[in-house]
């Protein structure tokens, strides 16, 4: 089975403790007594390998083109900060629509992890399927995803 974009089921929210993962990246909501996101969670998952990728924080005034992701890898949560370095498409009218991903220059990523090469390959596969906005929205026509790592 390959990666697919989907909304996270209630069963999987409980199984993987998704509410806590999301709230750990949004302490302002926790302080206000919220227990989850207002929006349905979505991820890119390969159920056969039990590997998934979920964006948990993105952009904003201070963070610009940076986004924080959680990769679930063999029972381990790996946090990765990615950047879109500005080399991709600016409009859905561009064909093919191009998305370029790189590591944030400020990000620590687990390059010393014993499975790093496999993790990197799974990350690239998941981001390729994720496309522009996962299950929520995709650019019409052809999308080409490339990496600066």
Q: What are phi and psi of 147, to 5 degrees?
A: -135, 145
Quote the pTM value. 0.91
Under 8 Å between Cβ of 67 and 100? no
How many other β-carbons are positioned within 10 Å of the β-carbon of residue 121?
A: 11
b/e for 50-75, b at 16 or more Cβ within 10 A? ebbbbbbbeeeeeeeebbbbbbbbee
Tell me whether the omega of the peptide bond preceding residue 96 falls within 30 degrees of 0, making it cis.
Answer: yes
pLDDT digits (tens, 9 = 90+) for 115-138: 999 999 999 999 999 999 999 999
> Count of domains in the chain?
1
pLDDT digits (tens, 9 = 90+) for 45-67: 999 999 999 999 887 656 668 89
Range of the domain at 63: 4-147
């Amino acid at each position: 089975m390959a990666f697919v974009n989907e909304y996270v089921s209630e069963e999987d929210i409980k199984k993987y403790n998704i509410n806590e993962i999301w709230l750990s990246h949004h302490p302002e909501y926790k302080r206000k007594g919220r227990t989850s996101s207002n929006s349905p969670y979505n991820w890119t998952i390969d159920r056969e390998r039990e590997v998934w990728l979920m964006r948990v924080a993105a952009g904003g005034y201070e963070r610009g083109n940076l986004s924080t992701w959680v990769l679930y890898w063999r029972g381990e949560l790996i946090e990765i900060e990615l950047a879109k370095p500005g080399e991709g498409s600016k409009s859905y009218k561009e064909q093919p629509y191009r998305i370029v991903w790189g590591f944030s220059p400020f990000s620590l990523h687990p390059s010393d992890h014993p499975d790093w090469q496999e993790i990197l390959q799974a990350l690239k596969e998941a981001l390729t399927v994720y496309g522009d906005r996962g299950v929520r929205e995709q650019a019409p026509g052809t999308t080409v995803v490339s990496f600066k790592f």
